[in-house]
Each structure stands twice: as C-alpha cells, then as structure tokens.
Structure 1
Amino acid sequence: MLKWVCAIIGFFFRGFFGALAGYLIGSLLDLVLMPKRNQRSFGGFFQNSQGVLPGDFELNLLSLASLVIKADGNVSQKELDYVRSYFVKAYGKERANATFKTFNEVIKKRQISASNICQYLKPRLRYEIRLQIIHFLFNIAQADGHITTNEINKIHQISSYFSLSQRDFESIKAMFIKSADKAYKILEVDKNASDAEIKKAYRRMVKKYHPDKLQNIDEAYQKGAKEKFNQVQEAYEQLQKERGF
C-alpha cells in the first residue's frame, strides 16, 4: 500500500517525523486511488467524519481476528482459511492479499492490543457495525467446529471494549452456542417474559438487525447481517409454536 512506501521514503529523508508525514500522505493516496468498489464497501461503516481509512480498518479487523484465533493456544488452519476467505469476498483477492502481507510484515511482529484497537475504532464505527464484528469473530471461532471457553472470553472482552451491551453480546453468542433458553437469549428476554414482551422484543430485534441497516457495505458483511436476522426470525417462530401465540 502507498502509505507504507511513503512512510519509508519519508523516514529516509526526514527520520521519524518524515515517516509519519509520509504515512499520512500515503493513506490519503490509498483512499483516493482505491477501487470504487472498495470505497462503497466502507461508505456505511463510519458514524462521523473521523472514520478510519479503509486500509486501517482492514488491518485492525485482521488484528482482532488474530487474537481470537490464538485465544485457545491452538492456531487452527480452518479458522485461518475462514478469515482469508472472508477478506477475499469482502475486499477482493488483491486487496486482501495486500492486507495479509502488511499484517505479517509489520503488525504481527508487534504486541496486538484489543483494548487499543477497540478504543480507536469504537467512536468511528456505527453500533451495528461493531455488532457485526462480534458476529464475524464468533464465526471465526466456530470455523474449526468447536468454540472454546477461551475464545468466548476473548470475544466477550472485545465486545466490552466496544461498549456493546451484555444483552447484545449474549444474543449473538446464543446464535452459536446451543442452550435450552437459546431462543430467549437471542431475543434478549427472560424465560418468564410475557407473550406481549416477547412480541415487543422481536420488533426491537428486527429493527436492530434488519439487513437494510448494512445495505451500503459489501456482500460479506450483508451476509452476516442476514444470518443474524434469520436467527432472530427463527427464535421468534420457535417461541410462537411453544407458547401458541
């Protein structure tokens, strides 16, 4: 990516401050010259004018993914393959390969801090995008067929750093972890909730997870939104049958 090339050139001529200036200039060039397809991909992500640049978002997302992959002490090839496939679908093969190359050459060699990443992204990303990231991380953990306690704890930590509510986290978690009260957890209600409360919760969840909220971003993210929306529908239909309303 141009920002790294410009950073190296800047460092050669002006040292650290030259590298910093080169990085910023290169980032702007990356944004201007990037394919229009990827510009549309990020158009619906940001909630203010201080949005992260596309390349930075990809690297931060990949960094969070790496933390989940390493959470249980076993780097699964299936999880790695899922992440690469997801990035290729979301950004295209060329851009995905560039992101992985930069990550391996630069980011991977440093200590990755979930707290710092989330602190940077949180004020710049809309709430529903942060929810989608948590859904993406659970999909990674599930890619090898088993979600471990350590992976759940790591995703929960990231969710907390993103300031997502506990109910939202438990709702997404229930979409991946089987339990007797799964349908209730997905709808974010207690088992003793009335039929009226369940209907109200369903309407609230439909509004929160409707795919139209993510219609301006790439197909890979829209797919995740549809998955959550379908789980909400299925949970509600299950309770309808069980309760007969």
Structure 2
Amino acid sequence: MGSFGKWIGGGLGWAVGGPIGALVGFALGSMFDGSVTAGTAQLPGHTAEGDFKMSLLVLVACIMKADGRVDKAELAVVKKFLVANFGEEGALDALQILKKLLDQPIDETEVAMQIGQNLNYSSKLELLHLLFNIAYADGEVVASELNTIQRIAQIFRIDRLDFESIKAPYMKHVDTNWAYKSLEIEPSATNEEIKKAYRKMAMKYHPDKVNDLGEEVKKSATEKFRSINEAYESLKKQRGIN
C-alpha cells in the first residue's frame, strides 16, 4: 500500500463498494498495482476515517469538474487546502489520487447518494463545510461550484437552514445578515433568541460530533465551531449584548 495508508488512516469500510469503490479502485489500481483494500478493509456499512476522506476527494473532483475544465491554479488551491488540513505527506497522497479521479467520468448524483446513505448527519455537514472551504479558498465565488455543492446538499437531505448556516461565513463580504444565517435565525430575533440559538448551534457543530473520523477531520470541524462563535460575537457587538 505504501504511503497511501497515511491518507486513508484506519482503512476503508463502505467506500470499497458502489460507485465510489469503482472510482477509487481505478485510481489506486493505476497507482499501486494491487488490491485497493488489501489489509485495510473494514466491515461494509461501517464508516471509517478513509471512507470520509475518499468521499471528500470524489466530491472535490466533482466540484473541480463543475465548470468543464480543471486548471493548475485550481489544483494549487486544493493542494494548499489539503496540506493545511491533512499535513504535507497525507496531502501529497491525496493529490495523486485526486488527479486520477479527475481523469474519470464521475456521476455526481450516484456518488452523493452513496455518501448520503452511509454518513451520519454531522459527518455530512462537515463534508459540506470542507467543500465550501475548497470552493472559496481562492476568495472567489464561482456559481458553478456553489451550484454543485447545493445539489450535493440536496441529495444528502441537508436542511435548508443548515446549508445556509454553513455557507454564511463565506458570504460576509456580500451578505450583511451572514451572522444571523450562521445561527439559523432571522434579523428580527430577540437578544434572548440569539443566545438560545448560539447554544443550540454550538452543540450541533461541536468537533466531538466527528470524533470517529480522526484528528485531522476533527481539527477542520473546529473551524466551523469557531465561525459559530464569530457570528455570535458579531451580533453581541452589534446589539450590545452582555
């Protein structure tokens, strides 16, 4: 398996089958000339750290293909993101796999359905958070990328307010109500409703919710947790809440 094990962590579970299994098998088969899961496969239906990471790479490939072309600038942005979130060694492995995925046709609906059926809700929220991180890593809002993430969220059956909450921090420069959307409330909310919403959201996005996906994913989940705090602090300042 070589250094590939660094990327998938504790192995693969349900991602060895279905459309993702076919994509990953092709990508890794061409790189490692052997069984993709030899010595690392876990029970079908079990979500392993590797399942989440492979799901991320497949969906990143979908987003990068969204505008019909993949350029070096996009790959550079993704590499920077991967290094920041998963370390240098893991990022290099992931980038190799991603390049192979980009060479294949991917049915966005099929892979999103497989992921949606196997990941729990908290893990799906974190996956969307990471996709937004990548889509906006270059500071540019691209409609094709946003539309792809929105379609994925719909297949995941993500609640509309949850989707808007994840998107809101990336829209600060164009949406004056971003902090309210982050906390899933209306600008007409009372101060007490804001406090209550903050406590609810802090529980929903607590990093411990994705404990089983490994320290690297938990670290990235902490960023979303911080954005909830940032939204709350922004509203406290606006309204003079103690």
Q: Distance in 2 between matches of 1:211 and 1:83?
A: 23
Residue type at the aligned position of 1:140: I
Q: Which residue of 2 aligns with 1:237?
A: 233
Q: Percent same amino acid among aligned pairs?
A: 38
* Partners of 1:65 and 1:137 within 8 A in 2: yes
Could you tell me which runs of 5 or more consecutive residues in structure 1 were left unpaired when the two chains were aligned.
Answer: 3-18, 33-38, 40-47
Q: Which residue of 2 aligns with 1:13?
A: none
Q: Distance in 2 between matches of 1:237 and 1:90?
A: 25
Q: Distance in 1 between matches of 2:228 and 2:234?
A: 10
Q: Shift of the alpha carbon at 1:213?
A: 2.2
Comparing 91-100 and 130-139, the one that deviates more: 91-100
Residue type at the aligned position of 1:62: L
When the two structures are aligned, how many residues end up with a matched partner?
210
* Partners of 2:85 and 2:219 within 8 A in 1: no
Q: Distance in 1 between matches of 2:214 and 2:79?
A: 15
Q: Distance in 2 between matches of 1:240 and 1:160?
A: 32
Distance change (3 Å), C-alpha of 1:119 and 1:112: same
1:115 matched to 2:124:
no
Q: How does 1:74-85 map to 2 (within 5 A)?
A: 75-85=70-80
1:133 matched to 2:127:
yes
Q: Which residue of 2 aligns with 1:72?
A: 67
Aligned equivalent of 1:149, options 118, 130, 143:
143
Q: Which entry has the higher C-alpha Rg, 1 or 2?
A: 1
CA RMSD of aligned residues (A): 3.1
Q: Which residue of 2 aligns with 1:168?
A: 162
Q: Which residue of 2 aligns with 1:226?
A: 222
TM-score (norm 1): 0.72
* Partners of 2:162 and 2:184 within 8 A in 1: yes
Q: Shift of the alpha carbon at 1:217?
A: 3.7
Q: Shift of the alpha carbon at 1:138?
A: 1.0
Question: Residue deviations 1:78-125, cap 9 Å, x none?
Answer: 4323433444566666665555445544x4343212211121112221
Q: Which residue of 2 aligns with 1:185?
A: 181
Distance change (3 Å), C-alpha of 1:171 and 1:97: same
Distance change (3 Å), C-alpha of 1:226 and 1:138: same
Could you tell me which runs of 5 or more consecutive residues in structure 2 were left unpaired when the two chains were aligned.
Answer: 3-24
Query: Which is helix-richer, 1 or 2?
Result: 1
Residue type at the aligned position of 1:152: L
* Partners of 1:183 and 1:236 within 8 A in 2: yes
Residue type at the aligned position of 2:203: K
Distance change (3 Å), C-alpha of 1:88 and 1:207: same
Q: Which residue of 2 aligns with 1:198?
A: 194
Q: Shift of the alpha carbon at 1:169?
A: 0.8
TM-score (norm 2): 0.73
Distance change (3 Å), C-alpha of 1:116 and 1:240: same
